[in-house]
Amino acid sequence: MMNSEQNRNAVIEAWKVFKTRDVRRISDLFTDDAEWIAQKGNATAVALDASDHMVGNEAIAEFLGSGMYKLYRDVRIEFRSVVADGNTVVVEEHMSATLPSGKVYENDYCFFFVLDNGKIKQVREYMDTHKGHQIVFG
């Protein structure tokens, strides 16, 4: 059983692996039955005709390693805070990127990571969906 600080560090390290876009390495961070749950109808899911509720480490890894880059280029993540309590780690961040149109995308996010023995079991993602739609779809 990992403590809060170990879980916090595991999530910070996970973001570093996400940045590599290495699907195999990303997949290894998640439990086989992991879930990534975003808000229904968010701009990313709509623009990419993707699910807002991904299930399974392979599906999540494919999206993080490849799928999201069909919409976002030059992705930059700035952590605002990372707080851990037991097996839950909360990450508040600002993301900026360039859309295929050349338009700049910027939005704030909050992620709740639930870990199980050092692996990510669930991610709940929250963002300003209205702002996201305005930027992505004009």
Helix or strand holding residue 94 (H, E):
strand 88-98
Joined tokens for residue 97: 């990127």
Residue 107 has pLDDT above 90, yes or no: yes
* Local confidence band at 98 (pLDDT 50, 70, 90 cut-offs): very high
Q: Specify the number of domains making up the chain.
A: 1
pLDDT digits (tens, 9 = 90+) for 36-95: 999 999 999 999 999 999 999 999 999 999 999 999 999 999 999 999 999 999 999 999
Indicate which CATH number applies to the domain containing 56: 3.10.450.50
Handedness of CA 90, 66, 69, 15 (dihedral sign): positive
Look up the domain containing 23 and give its range: 4-137
Distance of alpha carbon 110 from alpha carbon 23, whole angstroms = 23
Q: Give yes or no for a contact between 24 and 65, defined as CB atoms under 8 angstroms apart.
A: no
Distances in whole angstroms, Cα of residue 62 to Cα of each of 81, 106, 138: 26, 23, 27
